[in-house]
């Protein structure tokens, strides 16, 4: 059992609260799960995307919850089943006693399952989580879009924890396009999405407008309209979103994913700030 590897990784975070400790344990589990998937040939078909991808491979300074993937080519017959048993065996070797709940449904494009574990906390030395908190479940949702929009670009990324392995991931412009689709189309707001938006703009990441246009044509309020999406269209529609957001709610939703020293950055979150960020897009 490689529980020592998990403990050393957890200690390296220098957690200062129960929330940080819980976030760190989830992230370590995400990394081990990625390593396990890499052994199965999963990344020959799929690519990593979403906030956790941005956190692990591109140094986003907030924690994330889920493991999101996109197939490189549409395949509605794709299923998670061949990967779940190897995933369980691999995590067992690190002290996990994994419960996997497959929520995929026939005919649905998004295949999903939940990875749950309530045993690891009993084996580790946790500085902040005691009693029931130490026994609480680590829960991670794993989703794969089996019918992705066309136009994404990919690149190979590498990790050396818990061993050296490779992951196929969306490149930054495609990730920004995916995040933009969520911001424009999600019926409810997430502070995490707006935090990521700031991150992309501050690093002058360009948007893969081809991928965004195909995503908008596939799902959301513009589906089937074959929009010509460019910077001007994007800024007009994003401005409408920014003016409609309750920024206090966004700050509250985001807080648990940030380290304490980053919380002060939320004080500037209002319409004026985000409209200013929007104007700086691509500059």
Q: What is the pTM of this model?
A: 0.92
> pLDDT for 194-203, tens place per residue?
999 999 999 9
Question: CB under 8 Å to 134, separation ≥6 — which residues?
Answer: 121, 122, 126
CA distance 149 to 229: 14
**Distance in angstroms (rounded) separating the CA atoms of residues 238 and 218:** 19
Q: How many CB atoms lie within 10 A of CB 15?
A: 20
Of 173, 181, 159, nearest to 206 (Cα)? 173
In the chain, where the domains are located: 1-170, 172-283
Q: Give the C-alpha separation, 238 to 141, whole Å.
A: 28
More confident residue, 137 or 221: 221
Q: How confident is the model at residue 70 (pLDDT cuts 50, 70, 90)?
A: very high
Q: Which residues contact 96 (CB under 8 A, 6 or more apart)?
A: 29, 32, 117, 119, 120
3.40.50.300, 3.60.15.10, 3.10.450.620, 3.30.540.10: which CATH number matches 1-170? 3.10.450.620
**CB-CB contact of 216 with 259 (8 Å):** no
């Amino acid at each position: 059992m490689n529980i020592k590897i998990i403990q050393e990784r957890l200690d390296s975070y220098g957690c200062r609260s129960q929330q940080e400790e819980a976030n760190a344990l989830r992230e370590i589990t995400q990394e081990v799960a990625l390593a396990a998937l890499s052994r199965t040939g999963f990344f020959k078909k799929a690519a990593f995307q979403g906030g956790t991808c941005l956190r692990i491979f591109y140094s986003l300074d907030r924690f994330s919850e889920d493991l999101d993937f996109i197939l490189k080519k549409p395949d509605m017959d794709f299923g998670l089943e061949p990967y779940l048993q190897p995933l369980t065996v691999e995590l067992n070797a690190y002290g996990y006693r994994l419960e996997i709940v497959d929520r995929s449904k026939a005919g649905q494009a998004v295949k999903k399952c939940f990875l749950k574990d309530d045993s690891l906390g009993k084996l580790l030395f946790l500085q902040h989580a005691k009693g029931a908190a130490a026994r609480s479940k680590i829960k991670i949702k794993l989703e794969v879009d089996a019918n992705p929009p066309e136009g994404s670009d990919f690149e190979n990324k590498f990790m050396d924890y818990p061993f050296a392995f490779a992951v196929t991931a969306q490149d930054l412009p495609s990730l920004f396009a995916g995040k933009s689709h969520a911001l424009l189309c999600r019926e409810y707001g997430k502070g995490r999405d707006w935090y990521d938006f700031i991150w992309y703009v501050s690093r002058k990441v360009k948007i893969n407008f081809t991928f965004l246009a195909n995503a908008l044509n596939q799902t959301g309020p513009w589906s089937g309209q074959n929009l010509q999406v460019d910077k001007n269209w994007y800024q007009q529609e994003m401005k409408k979103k920014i003016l409609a957001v309750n920024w206090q709610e966004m700050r509250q939703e985001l807080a648990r994913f940030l380290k304490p020293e980053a919380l002060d950055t939320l004080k500037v979150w209002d319409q004026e700030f985000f409209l200013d960020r929007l104007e700086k897009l691509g500059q």
